[in-house]
Amino acid sequence: MGRGTIGCTVRFDTDAIRAAAADLSDRVRDHRRAIHRHPELGFAEHRTAAYVESVLAELGLPSRRVVGTGVVAVVRGDGPGCVGVRADLDALPVTEAPGRDGYRSQVEGVAHACGHDGHTAMVLGLAELLVRADRLPGTVALYFQPAEEGPGGAAPMVAAGVLDDPAPSAVLGVHVSPRQPTGVVALRPGPSTGSDDAFFIDVIGKGGHAAHPDSAIDPIPIAAQVVTALQQVLTREVDPVRPAVFTLGVIRGGTRHNVIAPSVRLEGTLRTVSQADRERLVRRVAEVARGTAATHRAVAEVEHRRGYPVGVNDPDLTALVTEAARAVLGDRRVVALPDPSLGGEDFYAFGDTGLPVTMFTLGVADPAAGRAAPLHSPDFDLDEAALPAGVAVFGEAVRRVLVASTVGT
Ligand SMILES: [Zn+2]
Ligand SMILES: [Zn+2]
């Protein structure tokens, strides 16, 4: 087979999966660095997708393109089950901090600051592990999706039919985390990431002279009331044990200290971990903005852009992945993730179809080596020593889902 592959057949049991993942560590690191050096933004992951295709081709795996830069490959085994594994390809418009000898971003202003290079490298490692398996007890579909950082590539891939043939019974994902020690896996059943809706609100009054507010409709104090009214909706209308947040990232209006502005623009994001809260708050944000503006003779024009769904990890599937992680990593390197995050995650578009999905987080922090910066920071870097753990967890979880499918028929 291809250059530099591990080259030998491996048994497909827990011990062999753990050993094969360790054997693949150099390969996975090389994939990560190759991708890291050439980061690309959402739906422009041309070089990254071509790299993925070339690695899959080396392994003898046919792949196909979907939605431009998405790549799907299928590893066919012997058994009725099918499970999906997802990675994301895109980087961020971030200028990487100095350092990273040998793998620094070659693209000014773009960097893999969210660790998606690591995700793709791990799933390529998994592909190699699966190809080497002496008897794979079912089929594994690998989804390399574009544009996780927005506008989202998972929903378009689902709409393009990637879950139709072969049809997986579950989809697995991973995200690296600099908040966990390296190689430690954390999981959480149930709500895990936030819905992520954007709002663009124009409070439209009537411009005029600063000395004559009575002949104008000043949108600035009205916008200020909209801001506080929206905060009040969040604190008074949502069960306080369920997190929800409405953050306004933009407030813009006016041109001069002595001129009443004609309008004020507010831009914000609404995050919840409950679909019911989300639907209600989407309605209430618009109602409250319009109502507050109307009370003061202004008009609020509200545009809502629907973003990622609430991320819910299927409890049974999460339990299976937890056991798989314990089997390959040991109990001490598997922990419960205590709280959901209000960060949005496109992966859950695969679960929006009703399919059980779960995403585990893989610790990549190595503070002693200076690797502890948060995701999306110019300083973010991941500890590559963690990557084989992710490959092993994927391998063992895939095995367990496929074996369970065999037993279930
Ligand atoms: Zn991100
Ligand atoms: Zn990410």
CATH label of the domain that carries residue 49: 3.40.630.10
Distance of CA 222 to the CA centre of its chain: 36
What pLDDT does 280 receive?
98
Tell me if 356 is assigned to some domain.
yes
Shared-domain flag, residues 332 and 363: yes
Only one residue has tokens 């009040």, namely 232
Say what the pLDDT of residue 6 is: 52
User: In this structure, is residue 72 part of a structural domain?
Assistant: yes
Can you name the residues that pair with 85 across neighbouring β-strands?
142, 172
Q: Is residue 240 part of a domain?
A: yes
Both 158 and 297 in one domain: the answer is no
**In angstroms, rounded to a whole number, what is the distance separating the alpha carbons of residues 87 and 65?**
14
Clarify whether residues 299 and 319 are in a common domain. Answer: no
Which helix (H) or strand (E) segment holds residue 132: the answer is helix 116-132
Handedness of CA 228, 233, 234, 239 (dihedral sign): positive
Ligand 2: centre distance to CA 114 (Å): 5
Q: Is residue 3 part of a domain?
A: no
Whether residue 67 is found in the same domain as residue 120: yes
φ and ψ of 175, to 5 deg: -135, 135
CA dihedral for 338, 340, 342, 348, sign (positive or negative): positive
Element (H, E) at 243: none
- Distance (angstroms) between ligand 1 centre and the Cα of 120 equals 14
- Residue 275 placed within a domain: yes
Q: Are residues 36 and 172 in the same domain?
A: yes
Tell me what pLDDT residue 409 has. 53
* C-beta atoms surrounding 127 within 10 Å: 25
Q: Which ligand is nearest to the CA of 375?
A: 1
**308 in catalytic set:** yes
**Residue at 384: amino acid letter:** E
Return the CA Rg of the chain.
24
Q: Which of 288, 305, 322 is the last residue of a domain?
A: 305
Indicate whether 79 and 25 sit together in one domain: yes
Ligand 1 centroid distance, CA of 362 (Å): 14
Rounded CA separation 80/351 (Å): 21
Structure tokens at 109: 């202003």
pTM listed for this prediction: 0.91
CB atoms within 10 A of CB 97: 15
- Bridge partner residues of 312 (DSSP): 191
Give the residue from 268, 290, 305 where a domain finishes: 305
Q: Which CATH number belongs to the domain containing residue 232 in this structure?
A: 3.30.70.360
Looking at residue 63, its amino acid is: S
Q: How far apart (Å, rounded) are the C-alpha atoms in residues 132 and 360? A: 24
Do the domain assignments include residue 5?
no
Whole-number pLDDT of residue 10: 78
Whole-number Å distance, alpha carbon 395 to ligand 1 midpoint, is: 24
Give the whole-angstrom CA distance, residue 53 versus residue 69.
Answer: 11
Question: According to the model, what pLDDT value does residue 11 have?
Answer: 84
Instruction: State in Å: Cα 114 to ligand 1 middle.
Output: 5
Which ligand approaches the C-alpha of residue 377 most closely? 1
The verdict on 329 and 288 lying in the same domain is: no
For residues 49 and 179, state if they share a domain.
yes
In a domain, 9, yes or no: no
Q: Which of 51, 103, 143, 308 is catalytic?
A: 308
Residues with CB under 5 A from ligand 1 (ion): 114
DSSP β-bridge partners for residue 143:
72, 86
Distances (CA, A) of 205 to 167, 202, 223, 257, 272: 53, 9, 10, 17, 31
Residue 4 within any structural domain of the chain: no
pLDDT truncated to tens, each residue of the chain (409 aa)?
Answer: 444 455 677 789 999 999 999 999 999 999 999 999 999 999 999 999 999 999 999 999 999 999 999 999 999 999 999 999 999 999 999 999 998 888 999 999 999 999 999 999 999 999 999 999 999 999 999 999 999 999 999 999 999 999 999 999 999 999 999 999 999 999 999 999 999 999 999 999 999 999 999 999 999 999 999 999 999 999 999 999 999 999 999 999 999 999 999 999 999 999 999 999 999 999 999 999 999 999 999 999 999 999 999 999 999 999 999 999 999 999 999 999 989 999 999 999 999 999 999 999 999 999 999 899 999 999 999 999 999 999 999 999 999 999 999 875 5
Q: In the annotation, is 384 catalytic?
A: yes
CA of 226 to the centre of ligand 1 (A): 29
Domain that holds residue 228: 201-305
Residues 311 and 359: beta-carbon distance below 8 Å: yes
Q: Which ligand is nearest to the CA of 150?
A: 1
Domain end (from 272, 305, 338): 305
- Do 391 and 255 fall into the same domain? no
Same domain, 139 and 262: no
Work out whether strand 259-260 and strand 208-209 pair parallel, antiparallel, or are unpaired. antiparallel
Per DSSP, what are the bridge partners of residue 253? 264
Does residue 165 share a domain with residue 137? yes
237 and 366 both lie in a single domain: no
CA dist., res. 369 & res. 383, Å (int): 9
- Number of domains present in the structure of the chain: 2
Q: Is beta strand 357-365 parallel, antiparallel or unpaired with respect to 171-181?
A: parallel
